[in-house]
Amino acid sequence: MPHVELPTGIRIRYDERGPSDARPLVLAHGFTAGLEMWFPQMHVLSQDYRLITWDARGHGGSSAPGIVEEYTMPALAEDLRGLLEALDAVDGAIIGGMSFGGQIALQYTVDHPSDVHALILSDSTTRGPQPPEEPRTGEVWDWAGDPGLEGGRHAMRTRPDLSEAIKDLDVATLVIVGTLDDMILPALHRLDGLPRSRVVRLDGCYHGTSGQRPHDWNDQVLRFLRDVEAGAPLGEDEIV
């Protein structure tokens, strides 16, 4: 797969498919995953969109700096910015992500709201006033010596709380969450401040809705994007 060398020295692996003149639709993967997690979405979403998936720093085929402190959510969002600039895909892009990737997508959108056509947050929410709890001891040992995993965890723990910033975010947003996702549901209310949002709960899903019910996940994304393009109301929250 191709790579982009950013001016910062970070090398980003990405995949691009679909019409080159279509609106960019950019998806960021979850923690410990890579762009391959979006295989169930690639064929469907690339029919009408320029679909761009990518590996965040420390993951997949992208650079993994050895200094943990170089992994921050704003830095990850700027990696995405550099990728889209290199691909001439900044203007009017749809930005999305799952969990860790949703955090990157939200940070990017807060940092560059005028360039974002719509936002897709899957299995993700804001940090809240307190950082997340420390990982379990076993997890720490599993990650020890892997700069990408240690750095990714550092980025999530130290990310800015955007719960207030989103109140000024005039970007149509689709929020997807599983009805059994005990990781996200208790904090989902932090996204209530989004001025323009639709919340879809996928029945029977835990964390990782795009992989558990990919057909329905894809359908909800495409329906949302059609409504955004048509200027239709985003509607009330729903369970599917």
Buried b (16+ CB within 10 A) or exposed e, 114-131: ebbbbbbbbbbbbbeeee
Which structural domain, as residue segments, surrounds residue 110?
Answer: 3-239
Q: Quick check: 130 pLDDT over 80?
A: no
Cα 7 to the chain's mean position, in Å?
Answer: 23
User: Which helix (H) or strand (E) segment is 14 a member of?
Assistant: strand 11-17
Give the model's pLDDT for residue 143: 59
Q: How is 59-111 classified by DSSP, letter by letter?
A: STTS---S-GGG--HHHHHHHHHHHHHHTT--TTEEEEEETHHHHHHHHHHHH
pLDDT at position 219 over 70 = yes
pLDDT surpasses 90 at 222: yes
pLDDT reported for residue 145: 75
pLDDT of residue 133: 67
Hey, is 233 helix, strand or coil? coil
Q: Taking residues 125-136, what's their average pLDDT?
A: 76
Go through the chain and tell me how many residues it has: 240
Distances (CA, A) of 38 to 22, 103, 197, 209: 19, 17, 23, 11
Residues 6+ apart with CB under 8 A from 102: 28, 96, 121, 122, 123, 124, 125
Give the CATH number for residue 167.
3.40.50.1820
Q: What integer is the mean pLDDT of 132-151?
A: 68
Q: What pLDDT does 44 receive?
A: 98
**Residue 136, helix vs strand vs coil:** coil
Rounded mean pLDDT, 162-180: 97
The yes-or-no verdict on residue 141 having pLDDT over 70 is no
Return the pLDDT at 235. 81
pLDDT tens for each residue of 26-74: 999 999 999 999 999 999 999 999 999 999 999 999 999 999 999 999 9
Sheet holding 11-17, edge to edge: 3-5, 11-17, 50-54, 24-28, 93-98, 116-122, 172-178, 197-202, 238-239
pLDDT value for 144? 61
* Mean pLDDT (the chain, rounded): 94
Q: Tell me: the pLDDT tens digits for 152-166? A: 999 999 999 999 999
Looking at the structure of the chain, the number of domains it has is 1
State the residue for tokens 């170089």: 70
Q: pLDDT for 75-123, tens place per residue?
A: 999 999 999 999 999 999 999 999 999 999 999 999 999 999 999 999 9
* pLDDT of the residue at 139: 54
- Cβ neighbour number for residue 178 with a 10 Å cutoff: 22
Q: How far apart, in whole angstroms, are the C-alpha atoms of residue 155 and residue 226?
A: 33
State the helix-helix crossing angle for 147-158 and 100-111, rounded to 10 degrees: 60
Q: What band does 236 get if pLDDT is binned at 50, 70 and 90?
A: confident
Q: How confident is the model over 66-88, as pLDDT tens digits?
A: 999 999 999 999 999 999 999 99
